[in-house]
Structure 1
Amino acid sequence: MEQFLQDVFLAVLNMSITAGYAILFVLLARLLLRKASKIFSYCLWGVVLFRLISPVSFSFAWSFFGFMKKDTMEHIPAGIGMMAQPQVDLGVGYVSQVVTSSLPGATPMASANPLQIIIFVASLVWVLGFISLLAYSLISYGLLKRKVSQAILLRDNIWECHSIRSPFVLGFLKPMIYLPPGFSEGEKSYILKHEEIHIRRYDYLIKPLAYFVLCLHWFNPLVWLSFILMTKDMEMSCDEQVLKEMGQGIKQDYSRSLLALALSHRMMVGSPLAFGESSVKSRIKNVLNYKRPTFWGILAGAAGILILSLGLISNPENSQSAMANLTITGSSQESQKEPSPGAQTQKIAQLIEDNLQTIMSSPGQSSNPDDYIKAHDMAYESILKYGGENALLYVLAQFEAGNAEGLRGQILMRLGKELLGVRNNVSDETLSPQEWYSRLQIRREVSLPDFAYQGNDSVAQLVYQTEVQKHKGRQGGFCVVAPHIFTSYREDGKLKVFVTTFAQSYRLYDNVLSEEGGGIIPAAITYREGPAGNYTLESYEQAKDGAYFASSIREYCVMPGSGKKIEGLAEEILSHYGDYSDIIKLQRENLTEHLQRHNRSRVFLHQSHYQKPTELIPIT
C-alpha cells in the first residue's frame, strides 16, 4: 500500500509538472484571444484538464514541449528513491540542476533511503490534502441539498427556494435550477436561459470534474489559477450564448441584472459542486463589448484552437527513436569505427553539438575538462541519456574524421568512455583523446545462458530455477543467483521455502564482465505439488522496502496451508540480513563455476568507482 501510494503521488506530480507548462501556454493564448469569443478560451482549458489526468500521450513533431527533448513526461523517475545519484528533468536546465543537486542519494544497506522517506511523507501530505478538499466539497454539497429540500417546484426542473440567495444548478444525473424569490420576469428569463445553457453544455458535470482534478493537484498554484479562470471563461462564454440566442438588444438589461445580483450579494454559492455565478465586473464588461463573431472569425478561432490543442496534448518526438535503426555491429575495430555517414541524421548531430557548445562555453579560465562537465552536467547527461548508441556512433565518427582535438576532444573522449562502459578496452587514463582512440578495440559481447544449479538437492533445485526466472535481466545478459535457504515446510499439498537470495545479472564482453543490476532480497516461495510429484509455483512473497521491511517478513513467516505463525523464523531471517557474507561468497563461487563450465578463462569483473580509476578484478 505504501509503495502504491508513492507511485500514485509521483504520477500525479509528473502530470502536474507537464500541465504547469501547458497552463503557461494557455495563459499566453488566453491573452492573445482576449477580444475573441470566450468559448475559445473555455475550450483551451480542456487541454490542461487532459494533461492533469492523463499520464500518457502520443508523440508529434510539432509538440510545444519540444524544448524538453523527450517523448515521455516522466520528469521525476518512479524509482528515484533508490537512485544513488537522483536525477530530475523539469524541462528547464537550471531549475533541474538546482533541484537535482539538493536531492539526497541512496544510502547503501539502509532499509529506507532519505529520499524514500521524503517521498513517503510528501505522499501522505498530498493524500491528506486531497481527502480534505474532497470531503469539504461533499459536505458542502450535502448541506446545500438539505437547504433546498423545502424548495417549491415552479415548472419542469425549475424550483424556487426561500433559504438561498443565489440562483444555481444542482445535481448530476437530473440537474435542477434553483432560484431565490424576488426576481422580475425579465431577470428571471435571463437567469433561466443562462442556467439552461449550462445544462445543455454539460457544464454541471465539467465543473465538478475540474474540481476533482483540482483536489488531486491541490499543491500546484497554477492549477488553482486555472480552475478560477476556467470558471470565469465558462460563465462569460455562457453569457455570450445568451446574447446570441436572445439577441444583442438585451445587453443593457442583462448587464443590469448581473449588477443587481452582485449588489444584493446574491452571486455566491457555498459548494464548489453547484453552479452559481461570479466575476460580475468582467462579465458585465464582456457582455457590453460582445460582438457576434463572423463565420471567418469562428473558422480562424477554431483552427487556432485545434493547432494549440494538438501542440499541447502531444509529447515531443525523441531523437533516439528516430535513430532506432542504427546499431554498433561487426567484429573488427575497423567495422565498428566506421559508421556510415549516410546513417547519421541531422537530429542526433544537432543534439550532441548543441550540448557540446554549452559544455565548452564555461568556465573559460580552466584547463581541466572535468570543470566544464561539472558546470554543465545536465547538458552532458542529455547526450548520454538521449543519444545512447547513436551518440556513440557520432562520437567515434568525430575521432575518425580528426575532429576531436583540444577541449572538444577531451569531452568527446569522456563521452565515448561512458557510452562504451565495459566495452572500452583502454585503461590508461594518461592518454590523449587521439591516443585513446588509436588503441581502442571495442569489446564484443559474448552470450551465456543463465546459471543452472548442478546439485542433487530437490528443494535447492526448485529455488534456483525460481530465483533465476524472477531476477534474470530483461535487457539481455545472464543471471547468477545465490540463495540462503533457511527452512522449508510441507502442508496440504504445498511446499513453502524461506530464502534470502543474492541475485546479480551480468554481461560478458570478450573477457570482461559488467554488472547490470542485482540485489539481496528475502522471500517466501510457495509451490503446489502435482500428482506426479512435480511442483508448480503458486506464490512468491518478497520483503517490502522501507519501513515495512521487517513487518512484511513476519507476515509471510507462516505455514503454507494453515497460515499458523512459525516461531523464531522471522528473527532468524532478519538477523541473517545484517550479515549476509555467506551468500556474497556463494554468489562469487557460482559465478566462477558458471564461467568455467562454459570454458571462459581469464575473465575479469569490471568495477568503476566514483572519481577513481576503473578496477578489473580476476574471476577465473
Structure 2
Amino acid sequence: MADIWLSLFEISVSVGLLVIVLIALTPFLNQRYAAKWKCLIWIFLSVRLLVPFRVGNVQFIMDALSQTKPQTVHESEETYADAAADAAVPARRIVVEIPAQMTDPIAAQSGQDNPDISILDIAVFIWMIGSLAFLLVHLISYSCYKRQVIRNGKRIEDAHILSQMLELKRELKIRRTIRAIEYDEAESPMILGFLKPVLLLPAEQYSSEELFFILKHEMVHLKRGDVYVKLLFVTANAVHWFNPLIWLMQKEAVVDIELSCDERVTQGASYAVRKAYTETLLSMLHKRCVRRTALSTQFYGGKKIMKKRFKNILMKNRKKNGICILLCVVIATIGCGTLVGCSVAKKDTETGKLQTEGTGNASDPFGKEEDLTEPISVLHDSGESPVLDDTTMLTFFKEGEEEQKEAVLAAGDGYSIYLPRNEWEPSGPDLWRTAANEQVRLWITHFIGESMESADQALEEMGYVTEENAHKRKEEGDLIFYAGLKEFEDDVWGIFYCYPTDAQEGWGRELPVIAETFAVSAKTDGVNSVPFDPSAEYLADQDCQEIQDMVDQFAKAYFDGNADAIRKFLVNTYEGEIDTYQSTGKISDFTVKGLSDTDEKKIEHGTYTASLEFKDSNQEDMFHYLTFLLSRQGDSWKIQSYGLEG
C-alpha cells in the first residue's frame, strides 16, 4: 500500500504542475478554443490521477523480469537472485527520496509486542482515512438529497413541459428514460441520478423561452453524461485530497463543464438568441442558489462564474479545434512521468554502485543500465523543384476526428488548387461551388497591378475584417466569407470562400485546408483537372458594373413613375406596357441580386437574369423583387422584360 501511495504522490505532483500551467493559460484557451477541449483535458488528467503507475516502472519491471531465473537453477544461482532482489528494495525507496526516519519503526511505548509501524505507514493510513471520508461525505450528501427529492418532490405532468422534453430528447438523440420532478426546496434546475436520472425543477414560474433554455441545458448535460464526469472529478479529488492543486483542478473543471454545455446549447444561434439565454441564466442567479451536491448538474454559479459564462456565450470570435492542445497535454503528462523515471533510474544506478564498491561484485544487475537509444536519421529531399501531382490526399479534422479525401488538381489561368473529387463543379471563371450546397463556394481573384496594401484596403472596403491569423472575414446574412491574400513576385492573388454560418464544423474545417493548396504557375500539362466548359459565356466585371448602373437608374424612374425615362433602358423590340410602381409606401433596402462574387453569372442563350430586392413601408414584413431579363443590344445591355414579384 505504501508503494501505491508513493506512486500516487509522485503523479499528484507532476499533474499538479500541469494544472498550474493550464489555469495560467485559461484566459488564452477560453478565447481561442471551445470549452469541451478543456473538459477533455481535465478528464484525461483525472484518469491519470487514478492510475497509480509511473512510466519509470516499465523499465524496472522489465529489468526485474529479465533477471528472474527458472526454479530449476542451481542453489548458488538462487542465492544470487535473492541477493539481487534484496538490493532492489532499497533502490525503490531511494527513488522516492523519503527520509530514512519515515521508514524506521516507531519504538514501542510499552513492553508488549507491537507490530512495527513507521511514520510512512501512519501517513498512508491518514491518506486512506481522508480519501474514504471525502468520498463518504459526498456520497451520503448525494444519497440524502436524492431520497429527500423522491419523497417530497412532485412528478411533473404539465403537457407543455413534457412535450418540450420529448422534442429535445429527439433532437439530441437521447434514448434514456428520465423523470421530471418539481421540488420546492430545489435551488436551481439539475440532473440527479446515475442509473435512473431525474430532471429536477424548482417550483417557479418560467416563460416559454426560459423553459426551453433550462430544459435544453439539462438535456445536454444528460446526453454527455456530465454526472459521471463529475463523479470522476470527485473521485480524483478524494484520492488526492492532500494536494490543493487538485482541488483547484476540480473547481475549474466544473466551470468548464458549464461553459461547454452553454456552447452546445447556443451552437449556431444568433446573437439575439444567445443574449436571451444569458438572461435566463441571470434570472437563475437572482433566485436562491446554494450548492447542495457535487454529484449533479446543478444550474449553479456565483457572480464571477456567471460573468465568465456570459462573456463566453456572447463571444463573437470563432473558436478553434483544440485537439492539438489536448495532444500537447497528453504528451506533457507522459513526458513528466518519463523525466521522473529517468531521474529515478539514475539515482538507483548511483546507489547500486555505492553499495557494490569494495565488495568485488561487479555484476549487480540493478547497478548498471545500457543506453538503448539510437540516433534518429532524418531524410531530406534532393532539393529538386516539386512537380504537382494530378491527385493528392487532403486531411481534415472535424469534431476532433480525422477525415481524408482524394482531391484533383484544378487548373486556372496562372494558378492551380486541389479540390475534393466529385464534390466541386465550376460555376464561372475562377469560381467553383459544391454540388451538395450551392451556398458553399470558392473563387480566385488576381489583383493585377495591385500591391498587398492596396489589395488589403480593397478587402476592407468590401467589409472584410482582419483576424489574428491574418485572414479576412465578414458575415452577410447567414453566410460567412473568408479571404486570404498571397503575394508571388509582383502579383497578388486572393483566395475567397464562403459557407453557411451553421456549417462551421463541416465546411468551416474543410475549406481552409483546400485554400492552402493554392499555388501559382503550377505545371498542369496533362493533369486530370476539374473540367471547365470553354464554350460557356459569363458576365465580366465590366458587364456587372454596367448592369448595376442601369438597374440603379431604372429603379429611380420606376419608383418615380417616369415611363418615358424607363423606355430608354428597354430593348428596341419591347412591345409590352411600361409599368411603374404603384404604392404610397416608402421604398428602402435596395439590393441588386445576381451580380455578387458568389453568383454564377452565366449567360444563358444570350440573356441574363438579375433582380432588385427592396422593401415597401406598407409591407415591412416582406421583401419585394423586381426581376429583369437582360440581353445585349449592340455594345450595351438592355432590359428585354421586367416584372414585380413578392
The normalised TM-score by structure 2 is 0.42
Q: Which has the larger radius of gyration?
A: 2
Q: Which has the higher helix share?
A: 1
Structure with the larger strand share: 2
TM-score calculated relative to the size of structure 1 = 0.44
